[in-house]
Amino acid sequence: MPVRTLTLDVTKMAAAQWVVASLSAENMILQTTLVLLAVFVVTRWYLSTPKNLPPGPRGWPVVGNMFSLTSETRCLTVTEWAKTYGPVYQMRVGRQRVVVLNGYDVIYEALVKRAEDFSTRQFGPTTRIINPQQLGIIQAPFGTPWKEHRKFTLMSLREFGFGKRSLEGKILEESVALQTEIMKIGNGPFDIGRMIQNAVTNVICSIVFGSRWEYNDEKFTRLMDTLDRGFSFNFASQLAIFFPVLRFVPGLGKGLDVARNVVDTIKSYIKEEIDDHKKTFVPNDIRDLIDSYIKEMKSRENEEETTFTDDYAEMVLFDLFIAGAETTSTTLYWAFLHMILNPDIQAKVQAEIHSVLGHDKPPSTAHRAQMPYTEAVLTEVARIGTILPNSVIHATSRDTSFRGYHIPGNTTVLPNIWSVHHDPKHFPNPGKFDPGRFLDAQGQYQRDDHVIPFSLGPRMCLGKQLAEMELFVFFTSLLQHFTFKLPEGAPTPSTRGIHGITHSPKKYELIAEPLT
């Protein structure tokens, strides 16, 4: 072999060995770097993770336990986990830690006895879309502005008969209008849900805006359609809210668009009402809640810092409108579902109504004490339906120790009302509709503190008195004049609800037979 060729081969081999050695060294450096980086990340995560957190179910990376919280079984899943992890546990929704409180004693301790620690709101994904400044009452943090506006709103509402018999006139007016609409249907089957929603929404409109709508009004119909969309978020829509990147996925991004559209539509209507009220405002003639806010805003115009602004008033009115329109109508929708499924119970309610009121005397909350069975039925509806299974989600205002666990400040806290209302130890056979749970041996109504549809503590729903009045008056007045039945040959409606923003029945139809 020529010397030149041999020299070249040796040179190539040396070069190749050098390249291999260099690559091996680079791989070792890369591997070492990756290992050190992994150790750094894990160590940082370990050191930054608070110790002694509540236990909880393992979740998937990034999404956490979200895929276990499907629409059909969410309440059951969250309640079932408490059997494994205890009454205080944590789960993950995306990257968000959520501490779940189960059982009456635990929820009462947190929301009532430890209210200062558990009564704020977190600036979460939904709030960023609906209320980025956290104004109003529902999503506002626990603090002076929230307390000031809640107090002012309650005082103003009382001036318009909130919790008083004077408000019954507005409710009875809507009850008559609702009966008229039902009579138009005749003997055919129909879905009573939208009619109830119209009537209940008109009550809150008369308080907040000073006027009611005709049920066939085009603008009112659009507003009701918007409400329906807002409260029927499915699981995919909720995913898109927690993970905005999913808006680019076909079929999922609609959740964000729907949320924004609902909020913008309703707020636009409220702003229009505020502007119109300002044009006709007379200080000595306060017609409704908007006028009350305008008067208060004018009295504070010279203050350097005030939260009584158009933006804040707009959000307070938004909260009242949303809460006042949806939860009561959904409760009544559950009530009539259980009446057509339990005709014997409906007959007992009607017998009691007619024994106290006859067929013509309008109902009043003054009659509640004389109608214990009706009261028990409405309480059972609130229990078994559980319109807000997780209340309005709370958050911790600071680091706190609770039931032996450390819960960091600004942690989302979910009071599981479903676990209270469906606790088999307190309510045997909780899935059965049984008003007898709330009657004593003499057939008198007995109140049960474990029925908490309006939640507990400082954040308790401020519309509680109005809702109770509406439920009683609408329910008794309709059963005073109609018997509701399942259409002949129709399948039995399901009592398994839909989990959107609220827990609502699946659509069903009934027949209303007038009583003479």
For 18-170, strand residue ranges (E) read 88-93, 96-102
- 153-162 contacts, C-beta under 8 A, 24 or more apart: 153/289, 153/316, 153/320, 153/462, 154/462, 156/289, 156/292, 156/293, 157/207, 157/289, 157/462, 157/466, 159/286, 159/292, 160/207, 160/288, 160/289, 162/207, 162/465, 162/466
Is residue 348 situated within a structural domain?
Answer: yes
The domain spanning residue 170 has which CATH number? 1.10.630.10
Is residue 398 situated within a structural domain?
Answer: yes
- List, for the chain, all residue ranges whose pLDDT scores fall below the cut of 50: 3, 6, 41-42, 45-47
Q: Provide the pLDDT for residue 47.
A: 47
Is residue 118 situated within a structural domain?
Answer: yes
Reduced to 3 states (helix: H, G, I; strand: E, B; else coil), residue 1 is coil
Domain that holds residue 324: 74-514
Is residue 113 situated within a structural domain?
Answer: yes
Encode pLDDT of 106-143 as tens digits. 999 999 999 999 999 887 767 777 788 888 888 899 98
| CB 325 within 8 Å of CB 197 | yes
210 alpha-carbon distance from chain centroid: 26
Is residue 382 situated within a structural domain?
Answer: yes
Q: H helices of 416-463, where?
A: 417-421
Is residue 26 situated within a structural domain?
Answer: no
- 211-216 contacts, C-beta under 8 A, 24 or more apart: 212/170, 212/173, 212/174, 215/177, 215/181
Is residue 15 situated within a structural domain?
Answer: no
Closest CA to 208 of 162, 245, 145: 162
461 is in an annotated binding site: yes
> How many structural domains does the chain have?
1
Q: Provide the pLDDT for residue 323.
A: 81
Is residue 462 situated within a structural domain?
Answer: yes
| CB 176 within 8 Å of CB 497 | no
